[in-house]
Structure 1
Amino acid sequence: MSVSNQIMKGLLDGAILGLISQGETYGYEITKKLEAHKFPDISEGSIYPVLLRLSKKGYVNTRMVKSDSGGPKRKYYSISDTGKAELKVFKDKWIKLNDGMNSLIRGE
C-alpha cells in the first residue's frame, strides 16, 4: 500500500465521523458527500469497513429504516457521545499536523 493510500485510509475515520456529526446519514450518502468535498477515489465499498469499525468502537449508533419503495432496509448512522469526543481529538491532532505540514511545505 502506498504512503498516500495509507494516509487516506487514516483520514477516512475522521472525515466520516465529521460527516456523521452533521446529521444522521447512510453509506451511499456519505460517499456522495465525500465526493462533494473533493475526496479522491472514495468508493462505497471502501467506506463500509470504516463504518463497521466506527460502530464497533462505539463512535456511531446505527438504526435500520424500512424503505418506502419496498427495497431493502437502509442502515442510518448517527454520532454517539464517545464519537463526538473522538472527533474532537481527531480535529485537535489534525490542526497540529496540518500546521506542521504547511510549515514544512512553505519551507519555514
Structure 2
Amino acid sequence: MSTQEKDSPLDLLQGTLDLLILQTLVFGKAHGHAIARSIELRSDEVLRVGHGSLYPALQRLMKLKLIAAEDGTSENNRKARFYRLTEKGRKALHEETSRWERFSSAMARILSPAASKTR
C-alpha cells in the first residue's frame, strides 16, 4: 500500500489483493468488476482495486487452484467470467487470514509505541 493524501484511495500490494479476493468470494461467485467493487465498498472506498492488478491476481489464484471460473451472463446481460472459491482456496484463506492478523497486530504494536510503554 502506498501512502497518499489522507482521504485518497490506497493501492494494494499483491499478496493483500489475493487475500481480499479470496475473502470476497466467501460470499459466493462473482465476476471481476463485482469483486473489485465489493472490496472498494467494504473498505469504505479506502482500498482501490485496478483492473491491471485484479485480473492478473485472478489468473494467479486460478493457476494455484484457489479459485475456479465459469462463463456466464452478468446482471446487465453481458458475457462475464464468474469466479468461485475452491476448497483449497478456503483453506488458504484461513491460513492467510491468521498470518495477516499476526502481522497487523505486530504492526499495531510497532506503530503505537506509547501503548507498548505502558505494558
TM-score normalized by the length of structure 2:
0.77
What is the aligned partner in structure 2 of residue 26 from structure 1? Answer: 31
Q: Which has the higher helix share?
A: 1
One-letter amino acid matched to 2:55: Y
**Residue 91 (structure 2) pairs with residue 85 (structure 1):** yes
Q: SS of 1:104's equivalent?
A: helix
**Residue 59 (structure 2) pairs with residue 55 (structure 1):** no
One-letter amino acid matched to 2:18: D
For these two proteins, the number of residue pairs brought into alignment is 105
What is the aligned partner in structure 2 of residue 97 from structure 1? Answer: 103
Structure with the greater alpha carbon radius of gyration: 2
Structure 1: gaps (5+ residues): none
- Cα–Cα, structure 1 residues 42 and 69, in superposed 2: closer, same or farther, change >3 Å? closer
Coordinate RMSD, CA, aligned: 2.3
Structure 2: gaps (5+ residues): 3-9
TM superposition outliers: structure 1 runs of 4+ over 6 Å = none
One-letter amino acid matched to 2:27: Q
TM-score normalized by the length of structure 1:
0.84
